[in-house]
Structure 1
Amino acid sequence: MSDPTHARRASSFGARAAAYAQHRPDYPREAIEWGLSGTSGTPRRVLDLGAGTGKLTLGLTALGLDVTAVEPDPEMRAELERAVPSAKSLAGQAERIPLADAAVDAVFVGQAFHWFDVPDAMTEIGRVLRPGGVCVPMWNYEDESVPWVAEFTTLGRDGARRPASVENMREVTHPAFEPFESDRFRHTQRRTAESLLETIATYSLVIVSAPEESAALLARLRQFLSSNPATANGEFDLPLITTVLRARRRRGNFALDLDQSGGSTLGS
């Protein structure tokens, strides 16, 4: 990646791997099933790419799928292997996936697609997917249609705001893939004020910020949570939205398609 700040943030999560594993939300089953339903035929072999600590890996294995998880960070991968010992865990990157051609029926990406070098990653995903297989990026974010949640994320926008690039991902095109479709799924995570703050502390911009800046952000958010009626007294449900994209791998001569088109594009 050419942007050193982006690269630093992308590689920052290992420092908070244990907290990430404990506090980040999982993914709703219906969102995973919607992604899988874009596959032609019955999906069996699935890749979780940029798998982190295995939050999405767990949901995939719960469906009885044969899951391979690829994650570059050793601390994150160690948490994944503890959480999901039934999944095959490999070191690797989206731009250099350590799998054979047409090895899987689906490639899922939880909370990581915006960190990839997207054109190169889409080419690699297309290589390891069988024709008719599906690429499924997913993101969990707070449901800002709920007033107190919108106020909370606005207050913490320096560290808690979703990357603008997530919306741009809808416009990704690649000759090996049909256009992306999208859907959204509501769910909740049981939280306390402190566990929610622990989650915010796993966000990349908070991790890489100067300690005094991170402390000031978390203090602002703690004050809000202690005075907000919905969050001030013990446990509460944090409303979440899971945004899911899916694009089916085209049939035909992938290599020829790439030669003729010149690769993939990210629409403006």
Structure 2
Amino acid sequence: MPPRAVLLAHPTKERTMSSLPLQAGRTAFGGNPDSYEAARPPYPDAVYAALRERCTITGARLFEIGAGTGKATFPLLADRPAQLTAVEPDARLTRHLADLAGNDWPMLDIMATSWEEAVLPDGAYDLGFAATAFHWLPQGEALRKIVRALRPGGWWTMWWNVFGDPDAPDAFHQRAGALFRGLRSSPAWAPGRRPFGLDIDARIADLKQAGFEDPVVDVLRWTIQMDAGQVRALAATFSEVVNAGEHARQKLLDDLTSLVEDEFGGQVERHFVTPMYMARKP
């Protein structure tokens, strides 16, 4: 069943912290790009609708931070920008991107480097974006570099798929949370903390401090039906699971599978959230 997205306002609470170092994000997701691509759900169509409403993409110059397997890259390439520079530090993922692109997307330029080390021309881009990736960077430094890369009036946007609604948790989420205890937490969402992408006050403050003006925040809530295999495959892509020891990882995935099959009849309805931030360079 495709996700159902609803645009909602959202309250703000405390900031997310992490015990995994930020550098872990550079290599956490490239072990099996095909499995990652298959397991992660697409971003809601409303994300791209908001971009098209506020920005000109066709014929524009874009850059992406943390392109991964191209979950957001290829939907935006379909709008035919003049150039899309995809910055990705994991060489396994850059090879995957290049293989997927083939000769079909000549406007795609893949940079096999981290955002911190990437060299982009100043004032050259109309739009920069990051999809479920920007929590792996030091915010102030990364945002200031983004400002330099954008032309005056250029847009920056960042969004996340948050795999669990902290304000309306589904029944499976409530039961499964305890299974993740003892794992090193991700900067995306540490136990007992607000998800990074949903810490709206902190994200807006970072944008304004970096020099952006008039940030806009959209929060999409959506539901998706998942069977035990899909739940297991998605959890296997989480950074805290990737970085767990082999025994702990397999036990967690087995326990999640059993939970879906034994207590939920083999299928669960998940409540996910996609916060999206957009701001312009003066």
If the length of structure 2 is used for normalisation, what is the TM-score? 0.75
Query: In the superposition, relative to structure 1, how do residues 207 and 107 fare at CA in structure 2: closer, same or farther (>3 Å)?
Result: same
Aligned position for 1:135: 156
Answering whether residue 86 of structure 2 is matched by residue 69 of structure 1, we say yes
Q: Percent sequence identity over matched residues? A: 25
Query: In the superposition, relative to structure 1, how do residues 83 and 243 fare at CA in structure 2: closer, same or farther (>3 Å)?
Result: farther
Aligned-partner Cα distance in 1 for 2:172–2:123? 42
- Give 1:1-268 correspondences, 5 Å limit: 5-39=21-55, 44-66=60-82, 67-85=84-102, 86=105, 87-144=108-165, 145=168, 147-158=170-181, 162-163=188-189, 164-166=195-197, 167=199, 168-172=202-206, 173-188=208-223, 191-229=226-264, 232=266, 238-250=270-282
Query: In the superposition, relative to structure 1, how do residues 13 and 197 fare at CA in structure 2: closer, same or farther (>3 Å)?
Result: same
Aligned position for 2:9: none
The one-letter code matched in structure 1 to 2:111 is: L
Q: Could you say what secondary structure the match of 2:161 adopts?
A: strand
Query: In the superposition, relative to structure 1, how do residues 224 and 32 fare at CA in structure 2: closer, same or farther (>3 Å)?
Result: same
Aligned-partner Cα distance in 1 for 2:62–2:35? 26
The structure that is helix-richer by fraction is 1
Aligned-partner Cα distance in 1 for 2:117–2:171? 42
The one-letter code matched in structure 1 to 2:254 is: A
**Structure number with higher relative contact order (C-alpha < 8 Å, ≥ 6 residues apart):** 2
* Deviation of the 1:192 alpha carbon: 2.8
Query: In the superposition, relative to structure 1, how do residues 204 and 244 fare at CA in structure 2: closer, same or farther (>3 Å)?
Result: same
* Deviation of the 1:152 alpha carbon: 4.8
Q: Could you say what secondary structure the match of 2:240 adopts?
A: helix
Contact 1:105 1:129 in 2 (8 A): yes
Cα root mean square deviation, aligned? 2.8
Query: In the superposition, relative to structure 1, how do residues 22 and 147 fare at CA in structure 2: closer, same or farther (>3 Å)?
Result: closer
- Structure 2 gaps of 5+ residues are 1-18, 190-194
Contact 2:143 2:210 in 1 (8 A): no
Contact 1:46 1:104 in 2 (8 A): yes
